[in-house]
């Protein structure tokens, strides 16, 4: 992945540093506005996190653990975490009721239905935009949640690994969900290179990925990460069914739709494993962290709702949901 284009003074300073060998530096001023909509902050945080995944072309791998960069990342995380705490209530519930509470949280969600729009109304350009947004996470699908495996034990660990085995294709590279998504991108005439559309997606899209990395890279957030994954799995099957129908309506072939078809089937099973065995097993071993599990689920639902609202608002005004950068959303 190439380094992105700066979106403000923070990313301008950070990205310039990363083009040089690792060195200590004084952290630039971190904005304190609405974190989820701050383009500069979310891109800076995404850039810091990406050093723990695939990295960037021309950036020394030693930057991953450079202390001054970690201090900056900590400041960015602090702003993001405080914003999440302001808008997402932290539920308090006895550990024995976590599975029931997760179900209530998911079924109570009343956000705008992006899946309904994509199934029935979206044109091909809008569907392609949606896939561009999702590519920022889907091309590394499951990786943020894998961070938590060595931080678990027993039933919760076994359940998470069971889910992840499916995400990674059961040992078959061509069946990995990230590879199936690449086929969807190619079927829509999009470039399937990892991170190629980073400059086109807005802060709300980056925030969806950033919250996973935030939870995944900190052991103290392991309960929140499990709740986040549970919310993903519990709200996946029906939307993916609608995405597949919408793509077929627009002429998508079997290869392009396979990613969505796979999630309809797999996530119906994963939903039960995630809620009962993974989260249930975790809170049975750590009852004091039951609220963290629900908080993680609520964060996932809240950020997805804000993303859907932004995208639909742009489309209802016949505009693009992507950032206007002078670059087109096109294939290779």
Contact of 47 with 73, CB cutoff 8 Å: no
The pLDDT, as a whole number, for residue 327 is 55
Q: What is the mean pLDDT of the chain?
A: 94
238 pLDDT more than 60: yes
Among residues 82, 91, 4, 19, which one has the least CA distance to residue 296?
A: 91
In the predicted model, what is the mean pLDDT of residues 298-309? 96
Class of the CATH domain delimited by 95-316: mainly alpha
13 pLDDT more than 70: yes
31 pLDDT more than 70: yes
Q: Per-residue pLDDT tens for 195-208?
A: 999 999 999 999 99
Q: Per-residue pLDDT tens for 53-109?
A: 999 999 999 999 999 999 999 999 999 999 999 999 888 887 788 989 999 998 886
The pLDDT, as a whole number, for residue 332 is 38
The per-residue DSSP string of 32-72 comes to -S-GGG-HHHHHHHHHHHHTTTT--TT--GGGGG-HHHHHH
Report which of residues 35 and 187 the model is more confident about: 187
Sequence ranges of the domains in the chain: 9-87, 95-316
326 pLDDT more than 70: no
The pLDDT, as a whole number, for residue 95 is 78
308 pLDDT more than 90: yes
The pLDDT, as a whole number, for residue 294 is 96
The pLDDT, as a whole number, for residue 330 is 57
Contact of 192 with 185, CB cutoff 8 Å: yes
pTM above 0.85, yes or no: yes
Return the sign of the alpha-carbon dihedral for residues 175, 181, 184, 189.
negative
What distances in angstroms separate CA 101 from CA 32, 223, 271, one per listed residue? 32, 15, 14
The pLDDT, as a whole number, for residue 188 is 98
Percentage of the chain surpassing pLDDT 70? Answer: 97
274 pLDDT more than 60: yes
The per-residue DSSP string of 225-283 comes to HHHHHHHHHHTTHHHHHHHHHHHHHTT--HHHHHHHHHHHHHHHHHHHIIIIIIIHHHH
pLDDT band (50, 70, 90) for residue 18: very high
What distances in angstroms separate CA 276 from CA 102, 160, 230, 282, 290, one per listed residue? 10, 11, 10, 10, 13
């Amino acid at each position: 992945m190439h380094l992105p284009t700066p979106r403000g003074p923070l990313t301008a300073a950070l990205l310039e540093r990363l083009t040089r060998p690792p060195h200590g530096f004084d952290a630039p001023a971190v904005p304190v506005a609405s974190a989820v909509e701050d383009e500069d902050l979310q891109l800076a945080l995404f850039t810091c996190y990406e050093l723990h995944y695939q990295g960037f072309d021309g950036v020394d791998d030693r930057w991953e653990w450079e202390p001054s960069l970690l201090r900056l990342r900590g400041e960015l995380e602090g702003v993001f975490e405080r914003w999440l705490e302001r808008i997402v209530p932290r539920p308090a519930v006895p550990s024995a009721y976590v599975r029931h509470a997760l179900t209530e949280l998911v079924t109570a969600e009343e956000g705008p239905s992006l899946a309904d729009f994509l199934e029935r109304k979206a044109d091909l350009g809008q569907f392609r935009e949606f896939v561009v947004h999702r590519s920022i996470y889907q091309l590394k699908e499951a990786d943020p949640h894998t961070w938590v495996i060595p931080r678990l034990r027993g039933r919760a660990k076994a359940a998470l690994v069971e889910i992840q085995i499916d995400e990674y294709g059961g040992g078959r590279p061509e069946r990995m969900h990230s590879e199936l998504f690449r086929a969807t991108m190619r079927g829509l005439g999009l470039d399937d290179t990892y991170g190629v559309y980073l400059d086109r997606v807005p802060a709300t899209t980056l925030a969806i990925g950033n919250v996973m990395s935030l939870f995944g890279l900190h052991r103290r957030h392991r309960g929140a990460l499990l709740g986040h994954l549970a919310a993903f799995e519990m709200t996946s099957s029906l939307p993916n069914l609608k995405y597949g129908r919408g793509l077929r309506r627009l002429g998508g072939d079997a290869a392009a739709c396979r990613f969505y078809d796979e999630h309809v089937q797999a996530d119906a099973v994963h939903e039960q494993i995630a809620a009962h065995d993974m989260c249930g097993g975790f809170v049975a071993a750590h009852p004091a962290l039951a609220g963290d599990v629900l908080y993680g689920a609520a964060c996932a639902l809240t950020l997805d709702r804000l993303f859907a609202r932004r995208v639909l608002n742009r489309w209802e005004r016949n505009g693009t949901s992507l950032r206007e950068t002078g670059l087109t959303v096109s294939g290779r």
